[in-house]
Amino acid sequence: MVGTSGHFWAGLTPGLRRALTFWRRSIQARVVVSTVVLSAVIVSGVGWILLQQTREGLLDHRVDVVLGEVDAEIGDARARLDAASGTEVNASRQQRDLVDPIIDRGESRGYSVVLAGPEGEDVPLREGGGEYTSGLDLRSVPEAIEAHFDGVNRTTAWSYTEIVRTAEDGQARTDPGIIVGSQVQLPSDGNTYTLYFLFPLTAEEETLGLVTRALLTAAGLLVALVAGLTWLVTRQVVTPIRMARRVAERLAAGRLQERLEVVGEDDIARLAYSFNQMASNLQRQIRQLEELSWVQRRFVSDVSHELRTPLTTVRMASDVLHDARTNFDPTTARSAELLQAELDRFENLLVDLLEISRFDAGAAMLDTEDVNLVDVVDRVVDAARPLADQRGVRVVVEQPVEPVRAEVDVRRVERIVRNLVVNAIDHAMADDPTEAVVVRLASDEGAAAITVRDHGVGLAPGESAMVFNRFWRSDPARARTSGGTGLGLAIAQEDAHLHGGWLQAWGRTGQGAQFRLTIPRHAGAALRHSPLPLTPEDALSSDAAVVTGPADAVRTEEGTRS
């Protein structure tokens, strides 16, 4: 999924990537755009409803007017026919006298007239039967309404239609309209004829267009007003938040004196006041911790240096007693041996404290040379073999085919590997002969890596964050068979940092642990990956994926030591 989104992002144009980045990072833009879109949808819906109601109102009013006008024309036509029935005997002359005045009035009032009939004769209207307004295309009369008047004594009917006219230049023009049909009977021949009145809706179309333009203009202005108000409101809220973000970034960068400006007494001002109070408390606590840390480092440095002289004196006396123990009684001789052993442990602790003091003071330096790390690992494993035999643990080194060369400080890398191997032996399961401490090496063009895998007690969830802390032990009750001081991994991590490398760990309760040292092959080079995986191949499939990173920022779901 991550790879797919990465390919999608890479395929976008720079402008689109900048727009998407701005969209993700700007809450003001998202609020304004969302509000404008929602407002546009609501205004569009309301405008559509208003237009539909306006259209229906205009058409209903036009239909009422048209029907009233048609009733008046039909009434006038029947009155003229009744008045002329006694004198007029020519049917065609009576048809012309009937329809010509109506056509003349229609041309002056803007509507067209068609006289069709007589009913009962199979003469299709579209084939030219009847009288009609000049320039009118008889296709304007819908077949449905024509079928309605296929007999006599039909009621008045109306319908919407498309009025087709032929202009003087020969071009046909189509306009929406209303057609109304009504029947009349000529006294001269007794036949029934149908009068069709076609009224255009151009005025209503113009009115509806005017209303539509007015609504669009009002909608545009309303949406612009909503956008402006939303931008102004969000700006008043977002601007203090942006200022708080900038101040927080400067605080995170170490500028602890930065504060927000408090203006007014509203919620934003109270937030700024609370933020400043929090920043002041954090500054005070950080200074206290820095002072405490400085005091602790100074104390460790002073104690470790001050103990050198009395330790040397006690060591000289202990050496004399230890050399002469054969002349003592058994109890005194055993005491001399215990004294010598505890002095060795105390001296190792003092050496570790002095090394920690050098790291704290920034006085630790690298003395690099190009070496084969396989030789370093072999020396460490050979030196730890007696301890492994004493614990009943096998130590296996998987030799790579090619030499693993790197520019390192041999003394420091040897100390790191020794700490890892001794810890693995100390925590391994001695009663399981099938399991062994496995040391692997690998390298590529940019990095070299060493992993140490044990199948011991492992690490419980939550312990991974503390494994490199000074004086921390995963099991305080464990017998100190290796004489550990609790500073080994802390010193190893500092040694890895000096090389620009990573010291990482994986662990599961009951599945053991694996430590990985990764260092650049060339001194001062940037480290971007490791040739060996942190999670061992024999780990359970349910293990979480490990995100590699700097030695002090390794992250997994649980069980990672960093």
| CB crowding 115-139: b at 16 or more within 10 Å, else e | bbbbbeeeeebeeebbbbbeebbbe
Q: Alpha-carbon Rg of the chain, whole angstroms?
A: 50
What is the Cα–Cα distance from 186 to 381, expressed in whole angstroms?
128
pLDDT of the residue at 108: 85
Beta-carbon count within 10 A of 333 CB: 16
What one-letter code names the amino acid at 365?
M
What's the pTM value of the predicted model, to 2 decimals?
A: 0.50
For domain 369-561, give the fold: Heat Shock Protein 90 (3.30.565)
CATH class given for the domain over 87-200: alpha beta
pLDDT of the residue at 475: 57
pLDDT of the residue at 45: 93
Nearest CA among 201, 144, 211 for reference residue 174: 201
Beta bridge partners of 507: 513
Handedness of CA 36, 37, 38, 44 (dihedral sign): positive
What is the token pair recorded at 3? 């790879």
What is the Cα–Cα distance from 282 to 143, expressed in whole angstroms?
88
The reply to whether domains 87-200 and 369-561 share a CATH topology is: no
Tens of pLDDT along the chain (562 residues)? 444 555 555 666 777 778 777 777 778 888 888 899 999 999 999 999 999 999 999 999 999 999 999 999 888 888 887 776 545 456 667 677 777 888 888 888 888 888 887 776 655 666 555 678 888 888 888 888 888 888 888 889 999 999 888 877 778 888 899 999 998 887 776 778 888 999 999 888 999 999 999 999 999 999 999 999 988 888 888 888 888 888 888 888 878 788 888 877 777 788 888 888 888 888 888 888 777 777 766 776 677 677 777 878 888 888 888 888 888 888 888 888 888 888 877 777 777 777 777 776 676 778 889 999 999 999 999 998 988 888 888 899 988 888 899 999 898 899 899 889 988 888 886 666 667 899 999 998 889 999 999 888 887 776 766 777 777 766 554 444 444 567 778 888 888 888 889 888 888 887 888 899 999 998 888 888 899 988 888 775 444 434 333 433 333 323 333 3
pLDDT of the residue at 523: 86
Nearest CA among 373, 361, 366, 425 for reference residue 394: 425
pLDDT of the residue at 432: 63
Residue-range domain boundaries for the chain: 16-84+204-255, 87-200, 307-361, 369-561
pLDDT of the residue at 6: 53
pLDDT of the residue at 479: 47
